[in-house]
């Protein structure tokens, strides 16, 4: 099971309804659109960060230190605050977002707000909630496959390459592509855009 399959498996069984309630009773469909957008942006940003040796090493070290995937054992509990792992950094969504997005967090929030119809405060809350799950999925994949820093970079690169293309663009896709393209300077940007379109389409098409 790859990372996107792992993430999708965590978003079934009423999870979207729970997330919608957690951010103030939002429309479930809008929450689903926002969730897919957040996944695309964070996975894309991590892929770009891991494209350099130093970035890959930093990400690998963070996964080893704080994200072993155990948060996925009770995702619903994590979302509702009923499950609190021993390592607080594993569920520190704000800290995770700071490392992944840096100063681009506000721009990312605005992008997802425009594409989903949720207001920025709802998107921000959802982003903080989902970030630990995304890192947990990546950490779980790293641990199960016994990957080092270059292996993590290769895994992310493989995801991008495998998802490139294969989906028609629409306004929502264009928003994601524009965000991910802002500081891009090479072919990885095209790969990230392809990943985003593929994952968004897969999440929209999943069975409830």
pLDDT in tens, 91-121: 999 999 999 998 899 999 999 999 999 999 9
What value does the mean pLDDT of the chain take?
A: 79
The CA distance from 35 to 29, in Å, is 10
Structural tokens at position 69: 């995937």
The CA distance from 188 to 162, in Å, is 12
Which residue has better confidence, 190 or 180?
A: 180
Confidence of residue 67 (pLDDT cuts 50, 70, 90): very high
53 pLDDT higher than 70: yes
**In which region does residue 119 sit, left (phi positive, over 0), alpha (psi from -120 to 50) or beta (all else)?**
beta
Give the pLDDT confidence score for residue 83 in this predicted structure: 76
Q: Which of 58-67, 76-85, 86-95 has the lowest mean pLDDT?
A: 76-85
Looking at the chain, the whole-number percentage of residues with pLDDT higher than 90 is 39
Section 70-77 average pLDDT: 89
Q: Among the ranges 46-60, 113-127, 135-149, which has the highest mean pLDDT value?
A: 113-127
Give the pLDDT confidence score for residue 171 in this predicted structure: 65
Domain hosting 135: range is 3-205
Q: How many domains does the chain have?
A: 1
Q: Which of 127-141, 147-161, 185-199 has the lowest mean pLDDT?
A: 185-199
Give the pLDDT confidence score for residue 190 in this predicted structure: 41
Confidence of residue 39 (pLDDT cuts 50, 70, 90): confident
């Amino acid at each position: 099971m790859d990372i996107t399959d792992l993430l999708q498996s965590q978003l079934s069984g009423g999870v979207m309804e729970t997330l919608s309630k957690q951010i103030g009773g939002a429309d479930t469909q809008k929450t689903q659109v926002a969730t897919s957008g957040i996944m695309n942006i964070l996975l894309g940003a991590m892929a770009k960060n891991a494209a350099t040796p130093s970035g890959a090493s930093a990400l690998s070290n963070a996964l080893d230190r704080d994200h072993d995937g155990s948060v996925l054992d009770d995702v619903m509990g994590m979302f509702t605050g009923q499950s609190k792992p021993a390592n607080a950094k594993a569920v520190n969504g704000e800290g995770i977002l700071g490392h992944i997005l840096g100063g681009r967090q506000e721009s990312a929030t605005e992008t997802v707000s425009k594409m989903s119809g949720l207001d920025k405060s709802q998107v921000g809350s959802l982003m903080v909630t989902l970030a630990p799950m995304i890192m947990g999925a990546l950490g779980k994949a790293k641990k199960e496959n016994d990957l080092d820093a270059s292996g993590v970079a290769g895994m992310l690169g493989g995801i991008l390459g495998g998802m490139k293309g294969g989906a028609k663009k629409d306004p929502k896709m264009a928003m994601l592509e524009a965000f991910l393209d802002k500081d891009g300077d090479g072919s990885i940007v095209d790969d990230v855009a392809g990943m985003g379109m593929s994952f968004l389409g897969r999440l929209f098409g999943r069975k409830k």
